[in-house]
């Protein structure tokens, strides 16, 4: 068999990253006077490899708290947003055997950057951001050179030698006995 082996291992064979800013229009029940707050909740997604990209299909809910009736009442407008992000992959290993497993990590959960009342005053425009990192796990070959000698942990000389003892400071220990 010689002194080398080819080993098949699982490894990250491709990666991709994408930051997205998107605008969404919310139609409140009444005409808004002021935006009091806007937050994003209930984020869910799934990732799937499609060609040389990974598609992340997901959704989240935008809740916008606003005042209405000339700032005399408040209300909350809620809208579910669907999205599909296509993330390009950069391959490190063009010779991978199989690449079927996708790992998708959220680097930035969807959150509100800005919420404003539209110019015609009957809608709310929300700017949101999100960011994903995807990794493609595949099988690849690793070539390993075997040594001619057997490896032995005892070959590591980890004992203290005389020079290291000479460098010790004898005054380092403090007298703990009470006088």
Residue 94 maps to a domain: yes
Whole-number pLDDT of residue 178? 54
Residue 103 maps to a domain: yes
Residues 90-111: b if buried by 16+ CB within 10 A, e if exposed: eeebeebeebeebebeeeeebe
Please check the confidence at residue 14 and state whether its pLDDT lies above 70: yes
Please check the confidence at residue 152 and state whether its pLDDT lies above 70: no
Please check the confidence at residue 174 and state whether its pLDDT lies above 70: no
Domain assignment of residue 67, given as a range = 4-148
Residue 156 maps to a domain: no
* Domain count for the chain: 1
Query: Does the pTM of the predicted model rise above 0.85?
Result: no
110-143 pLDDT per residue, tens: 999 999 999 988 899 999 999 999 999 988 888 8
CA angle at residue 63 from 60 to 66, to 5 degrees?
Answer: 160
99-111 pLDDT per residue, tens: 679 999 999 999 9
Residue 166 maps to a domain: no
Of 106, 103, 113, the C-alpha closest to 131 is 106
Whole-number pLDDT of residue 147? 72
33-45 pLDDT per residue, tens: 999 999 999 999 9
Residue 177 maps to a domain: no
Residue 116 maps to a domain: yes
Residue 106 maps to a domain: yes
Residue 162 maps to a domain: no
Whole-number pLDDT of residue 114? 96
Whole-number pLDDT of residue 155? 52
Helix (H) or strand (E) holding 55: strand 53-68
The arithmetic mean of pLDDT across residues 71-85, rounded, is 96
State the residue for tokens 């995807």. Answer: 134
Whole-number pLDDT of residue 27? 93
């Amino acid at each position: 068999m010689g002194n080398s082996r080819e080993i098949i291992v699982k490894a990250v064979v491709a990666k991709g990253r994408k930051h997205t800013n998107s605008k969404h229009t919310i139609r409140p029940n009444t005409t808004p006077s002021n935006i009091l707050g806007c937050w994003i909740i209930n984020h869910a997604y799934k990732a799937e490899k499609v060609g040389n990209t990974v598609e992340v299909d997901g959704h989240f809910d935008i809740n916008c708290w606003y005042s209405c009736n000339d700032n005399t009442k408040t209300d909350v407008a809620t809208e579910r947003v669907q999205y599909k992000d296509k993330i390009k992959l950069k391959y490190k290993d063009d010779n991978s055997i199989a690449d079927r497993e996708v790992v998708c990590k959220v680097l930035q959960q969807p959150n509100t950057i800005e919420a404003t009342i539209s110019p015609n005053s009957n809608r709310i425009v929300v700017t949101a951001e999100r960011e994903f990192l995807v990794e493609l796990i595949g099988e690849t070959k690793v070539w390993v050179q075997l040594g001619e000698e057997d490896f032995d942990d005892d070959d590591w000389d980890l004992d203290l030698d005389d020079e290291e003892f000479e460098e010790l400071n004898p005054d380092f220990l403090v007298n703990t006995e009470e006088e």
